[in-house]
């Protein structure tokens, strides 16, 4: 029985195509993304690169930097921009449901455990420094030109100019307000054919409501699928 389960898990892993960097960040406990989401994120990345969709790559919500490292590693000539408060996650609001408030209560009481029972990222003293070191370990220099990390609230650090364009954006920030802000803002600078992946669509009610609201107001955005996360594409013109 146990061996059968192990064989089917091994088969599932072999079917999901992952670059070595993704396997390494997962092995090192640098990401909360389960295998299916990492494989899907990577597939979308390969797709925009193969189709040569213009624009940079961005992530909102980096925590320990795992998924960001995967995105930055495959950026080619594009820039990678990563946004995070690099500290304790800001609280949910009354637009979020009890799932978010219950989770935040555990975090605020100092009772959250991290990946594989390690230290929770929100309790790390210098999370920004830790993430920069992890990038370096993967051969990625945070030079703030080709790889740019912005520390602070998204609402204060993401101020796109007229000329900013994105081909792929990963939104991984849990609650209603930040998801609404990020998706609304990036929808204006997403290239046609570009993609936004929202990690928590199936995890938090507030996140799902924010995504559904933006989709209802933007005819140019199409929800292609909701598993293992929400994949939203800007329609080619």
Residues that bind ligand SAM (CB under 6 A): 31-33, 61-64, 66-67, 84-85, 89-90, 153-154, 172-174, 178
CB of residue 180 to ligand SAM, shortest distance in Å: 10
Closest C-alpha among 21, 39, 90 to residue 60 = 90
Q: CA-to-CA distance for 177 and 173, rounded, in angstroms?
A: 9
Give 53 or 197: the residue with its C-beta nearer to ligand SAM: 197
Give 44 or 174: the residue with its C-beta nearer to ligand SAM: 174
CB of residue 165 to ligand SAM, shortest distance in Å: 22
Give 56 or 172: the residue with its C-beta nearer to ligand SAM: 172
CB of residue 173 to ligand SAM, shortest distance in Å: 4
For residues 37 and 229, is the Cβ–Cβ distance under 8 A? yes
Give 150 or 233: the residue with its C-beta nearer to ligand SAM: 150
Tokens of 78: 């594009």
Over the range 95-130, which residues count as b (16 or more CB within 10 Å of their CB) and which as e? ebbebbeebbeeeeeeebebbeeeebbbebeebbeb
CB of residue 30 to ligand SAM, shortest distance in Å: 7
Tokens of 85: 């408060």
């Amino acid at each position: 029985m146990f061996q059968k389960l192990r064989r089917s898990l091994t088969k599932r892993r072999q079917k999901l195509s992952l670059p070595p960097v993704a396997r390494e960040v997962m092995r090192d406990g640098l990401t909360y993304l389960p295998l299916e989401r990492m494989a899907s994120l990577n597939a979308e990345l390969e797709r925009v690169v193969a189709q040569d969709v213009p624009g940079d790559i961005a992530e909102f919500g980096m925590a320990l930097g795992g998924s960001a490292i995967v995105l930055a590693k495959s950026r080619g000539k594009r820039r990678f921009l990563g946004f995070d408060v690099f500290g304790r996650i800001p609280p949910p609001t009354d637009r979020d449901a009890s799932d978010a408030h219950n989770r935040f209560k555990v975090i605020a009481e100092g009772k959250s455990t991290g990946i594989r029972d390690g230290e929770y990222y929100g309790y790390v003293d210098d999370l920004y420094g830790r993430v920069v070191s992890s990038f370096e370990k993967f051969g990625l220099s945070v030079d703030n030109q080709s790889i740019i990390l912005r520390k602070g609230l998204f609402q204060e650090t993401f101020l796109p100019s007229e000329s900013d364009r994105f081909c792929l954006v990963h939104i991984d920030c849990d609650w209603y307000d930040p998801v609404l802000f990020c998706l609304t803002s990036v929808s204006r600078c997403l290239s046609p054919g570009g993609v936004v992946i929202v990690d928590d669509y199936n995890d938090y009610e507030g996140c799902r409501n924010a995504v559904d609201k933006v989709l209802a107001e933007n005819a140019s955005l199409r929800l292609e699928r909701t598993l293992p996360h929400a994949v939203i594409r800007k329609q080619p013109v």
